[in-house]
Structure 1
Amino acid sequence: MVHPIKVQLNDLMVKREEFEADVSLRSERLDAAGVGLHGSLLDKEGYPRADIDIMSIRTDRKRIAELTNDHKSVTNQIEKLIQELHAATKDSKPSHDRPSAPAASTTDKPPEQSNGIAAPVPAGRPVHAAQYSRPLAVVDGVSEASPASRAGIQVGDALVSLGGASWESGTISLQQIAAAVQASEGKEVPAIVLRQGETVSLKLTPERWAGQGLLGCHLRPIGDTTRG
């Protein structure tokens, strides 16, 4: 039986995708008119331009502003539900099934390359959560048939490492994650996520596909990861 929170998450993600598609369509119309979101609708003499449909442009601009606010609201709801799903799943597991915290030791530190940056952990290798204790972002959307979906990434996963990019290696923003993804296009890279309190090692290949981006998943910053 599908968890009711997952049903709500799916509905909200569909709604968010509809918002994004609507914004994209209206933005394309504004760009085609040569005015965008902020271009002037007046001519050099200060009169309304006769070469554009001012009413339609104003309507699109207003609707984009509304959709942007709606998108932000839905994204916040998705993030809240993901947290609730994590808590509900964790609480539903018998105590004897929950992994105990590993004892602190020097072996719990991430492996390092010669340059001091945390090295990627091969997919399939057991990984202690203590090695990557600070997630970079949470996955709040995965497109069907995308590279992320094929790799086994799921909504609610907390991304802690991607191709060696982690908090420990100095990665603290989604821009840095995006740069790491771009640099790994067409190459298989290890990814580590926290899922329902457990650490999962995956193999991911960023590549062009039918949808947008190289991964096909939407990442939401966690706490301080929004810092540039």
Structure 2
Amino acid sequence: MVGTNLKAETMSLMEKRTAVEAEMNAIIHRLSQPGGPGLSGNLIDAEGFPRSDIDILHVRAERRRLAELRNDHQEISEKINENIQLLHSARLSNVSSCVKDSGNDADSNQNSSLVNADASAFPSNNIQRDSPVSMDVDLIISKPFALIDEITDASPAAEDGLQLGDQIVKFGKVEAGENLLERLASEGRSNLGQAVPVVIMRQGAVINLTVTPRTWQGRGLLGCHFRIL
């Protein structure tokens, strides 16, 4: 019963996170329009006066709301990860108990079936699920190390399929560890113009993509910002 309730709570959190990401994307899109103020652009003109081409109060409200949503997104993601770890701990404990209890009574074929059935419940990172929100959340086994908290329209990251809120499990050769920002930057520079395999977690689903770091009209080689988790 506890596991069922925890799973239901996690599914609800995933749906809530999806709604938060949609609102964040909408705000970012509005602020990043051509000639717009951007996510952190200056609101005064070259002479030091408030810009007359934008609604400054509205822009400030949008930026403030975006900051609130980012905090909400982080809290929800942390709770989801906490629930997933609890679900996995419960699953592994149950499997271990089943194997131990059935060891003396079941024949080798039955034991083999039990092990194979459990192994099939833990997919590799190469599996992409089509309905992430409806997935069985205790199948997630990878731990992300970074979150995309900013992404620019028409940037290499956006064009190659990355989205705001994606959690990075693996970027090229970079996995969880130390000096992650430096390693991510180095991986991007060393693969300029080359496709880099990326494993992400999106709404609880593990997805494989390829991203090509390249020069474009904006900043950096990807046009997104990684926040280390």
TM-score, normalised on structure 2? 0.49
Larger RCO, structures 1/2 (Cα 8 Å, 6+ apart): 2
TM-score, normalised on structure 1? 0.49
